[in-house]
Chain A
Amino acid sequence: MMEITLTHYLVLSTVLFSIGLIGVMRRKNLLMLFFATEILLNSVNIALVAISHFYGDFTGQMFAFFIIAIAASEVAVGLGLLVLWFKRFNTIDLDNMTSMKG
Chain B
Amino acid sequence: MFEAAAFYLFAFLTISMFWITVTTKHALYALTALAAGMIFISAFFFILEADFMGVVQLIVYSGAVMALYAFGMMFYDTTRELHEKQGNNTLVFLLSGISALIVVAMVAAPLVGGNVEAHYPIVEGVGNSQAIGMVLFTKYLVPFEVAAVMLLVAMIAGIVMAGKKMDESFSELSEDEIDTKNAEVIS
Contact = CB atoms under 8 A, between A and B. Distances in A.
A50 B48 contact: yes
Interface in B138-163: 140, 143, 147, 150-151, 153-155, 157-162
Contacts of B44: 9, 46, 49-50
Given A29-B84, A80-B162, A84-B161, A58 B122 contact: yes
Contact of A79 (B57, B72, B92, B122): B72
A100 interface: no
B143 to A, nearest CB: 6
Given A4-B3, A75-B69, A76-B68, A22 B93 contact: yes
Given A80-B157, A80-B158, A42 B61 contact: yes
A74 to B, nearest CB: 8
B165 interface: no
Interface residues of A, number: 69
Interface of B: 1, 3-4, 7, 11, 14-15, 18-19, 21-23, 27, 30-31, 34, 37-38, 41, 44-45, 48-50, 52-53, 56-57, 60-61, 64-65, 68-69, 71-73, 75-76, 82, 84-87, 89, 92-93, 95-97, 99-100, 103-104, 107-108, 116, 118-122, 131-132, 135-136, 140, 143, 147, 150-151, 153-155, 157-162
